[in-house]
């Protein structure tokens, strides 16, 4: 450690007031330097943890997307067109809000804060409103198509 070497170099020499002050505060300064090193290591670990968490989230999202695509291919072959279109529209809404929630979780550290709680509530409410719009539209289309085919 450079600080320790500098203090050791003072032995047997005539010291200035500043050097005497350094020698007198040697233990405090060394402790603070060690604390700074520990804090830097902790910050590096925290940053690495964030990076790994982001990589994991990306892998999970990719796996989810692959599975959803596979399921959709099968559903497209087995479901009536209108039901399939509704399912896809609902998936897109859920995916959009999932992305928004992940972004919110990434940006807000305190998950108990009033702002976070309020924003997650808004996201849930708006997601439900959009899903309701898709469902109601599908029902209305089915009713219109039913009346045309019955008429």
Interval 45-98: pLDDT, tens: 999 999 999 999 999 999 999 999 999 999 999 999 999 999 999 999 999 999
68 shares its domain with 101: no
89 shares its domain with 73: no
Tokens of 84: 């399939």
Give pLDDT, residue 145: 86
Count, in order, helices (H) and strands (E) of the chain. Answer: 5, 0
Helix, strand, coil shares of the chain, percent, nearest 5, are: 85, 0, 15
pLDDT band at 16 (very low <50, low <70, confident <90, very high): confident
Final residue before a domain boundary, out of 78, 111, 133: 78
Tokens of 138: 């599908």
Per the structure, how many domains does the chain have?
2
How far CA 18 is from CA of 21, 22, 25, in Å, comes to: 5, 6, 11
Please report where in the chains the tokens 């892998």 appear, as a residue.
59
56 shares its domain with 106: no
103 shares its domain with 91: yes
Specify whether the CB–CB gap between 30 and 4 falls below 8 A: yes
130 shares its domain with 71: no
93 shares its domain with 38: no
pLDDT band at 151 (very low <50, low <70, confident <90, very high): low
15 shares its domain with 84: no
C-alpha dihedral sign at 74, 79, 80, 81: negative
* Owning domain of residue 105: 80-151
Measured between alpha carbons, how far is 94 from 87 in angstroms, rounded to an integer? 11
Question: How crowded is residue 94: how many other Cβ atoms within 10 Å of its Cβ?
Answer: 14
7 shares its domain with 48: yes
Rama region for 12: left / alpha / beta (φ>0; ψ in -120 to 50; rest): left
60 shares its domain with 105: no
Final residue before a domain boundary, out of 63, 78, 93: 78
Does the pLDDT at position 4 exceed 90? Answer: no
Final residue before a domain boundary, out of 52, 78, 104: 78
Tokens of 75: 């559903």
63 shares its domain with 52: yes
Give pLDDT, residue 6: 74
Q: What mean pLDDT comes out for the span 26-45?
A: 92
Does the pLDDT at position 135 exceed 80? Answer: yes
71 shares its domain with 99: no
12 shares its domain with 72: yes
Question: How crowded is residue 146: how many other Cβ atoms within 10 Å of its Cβ?
Answer: 10
Please report where in the chains the tokens 């790994």 appear, as a residue.
52
């Amino acid at each position: 450690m450079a600080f320790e070497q500098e203090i050791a170099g003072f032995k047997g020499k005539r010291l200035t007031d500043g050097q005497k002050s350094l020698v007198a505060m040697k233990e405090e300064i060394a402790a603070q330097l060690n604390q700074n090193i520990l804090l830097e290591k902790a910050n590096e670990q925290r940053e690495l943890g964030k990076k790994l968490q982001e990589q994991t989230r990306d892998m999970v999202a990719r796996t989810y997307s692959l599975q959803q695509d596979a399921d959709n291919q099968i559903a497209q072959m087995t479901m009536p067109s209108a039901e399939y279109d509704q399912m896809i529209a609902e998936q897109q809404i859920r995916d959009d809000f999932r992305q928004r929630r992940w972004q919110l979780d990434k940006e807000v550290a305190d998950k108990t804060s009033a702002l976070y709680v309020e924003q997650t509530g808004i996201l849930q409410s708006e997601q439900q409103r959009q899903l309701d719009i898709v469902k109601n539209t599908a029902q209305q289309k089915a009713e219109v198509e039913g009346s045309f085919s019955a008429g």
